[in-house]
Amino acid sequence: MRERRKDVIRLKISALSDTRNNRIGKNRFPADCKHTVGERKWHIFYLRPHTESLVCRILTSLNYEVFWPVIQSIRVWKNRQKKKIKLSLFPNYLFVYSYVHDLYTIRCLPHVVCCITCGGKPSTISEKEIEGIRRMLGMGRAITVESSFSKGERVRIVSGPLKGYEGELVKQYNKTRFGIQLKAINHTLFIDITRSELEKI
């Protein structure tokens, strides 16, 4: 009888421990059951103004993979001193590589306004689009972002870091520019390019 009582007591303590963990949000998913929670994707979060750096640090400390695309800009202060500062390529937006069941946790973090959705489902951008942005930033050319533009000629890049990428060829400010459209946030990323690097689709 004594052995049975010990078993019952152990079982009750274990059950209480599991309930407490669920209450504070420690959801447990077996390592061999990834299909039950889907795959990780690049989800998009909209933040309060000028909080990208802070939220990025918070998410990184929580072991999330975060992509915060920035460009360097030189500002001249009143005393004529020049200083390099980081500017968000997409102000107020942050890309987080996460599972769907992580979205609520991220949404509840300070300064996070919402997770971008479309048709009631979380919006995502592809790994190729993320890599395309990274390559553009690494090319050392002038980059601009616009929320709308006149549709141009469909082209494919045939050489250089962006080889294989498809987008729009437009004329802006007497320059030939290549644009990759990110439909999830309704923005287009433009970069200067020469026609010799392109082919029509």
Q: Residues 119-134, buried b or exposed e (16+ Cβ, 10 A)?
A: eeebbbbeeebbebbe
Amino acid 15: pLDDT? 29
**3-class DSSP assignment, residue 21:** helix
- CATH number of the domain at 197, please: 2.30.30.30
Read out DSSP for 155-183?
Answer: EEE-SSTTTT-EEEEEEETTEEEEEEEET
Is there a single domain that holds both residue 140 and residue 104? no
Instruction: Pick the closest to residue 47 from 37, 38, 55 (CA basis).
Output: 55
pTM, two decimal places: 0.74
Residue 155 sits in which domain range?
126-201
Instruction: Judge contact between 190 and 178, C-beta under 8 A.
Output: yes
- CATH number of the domain at 107, please: 3.30.70.940
20 band by pLDDT with thresholds 50, 70 and 90 = very low
Q: Which of 125, 153, 177 is the last residue of a domain?
A: 125
Q: What is the pLDDT of residues 81-137, one digit of tens each?
A: 887 888 899 999 999 999 999 999 999 999 999 999 998 899 999 999 999 999 999
Among 73-77, 98-102, 145-149, 160-164, the range of highest mean pLDDT:
98-102
Q: What is the pLDDT of residues 30-73, one digit of tens each?
A: 333 333 458 999 999 999 999 999 999 999 999 999 999 998 87
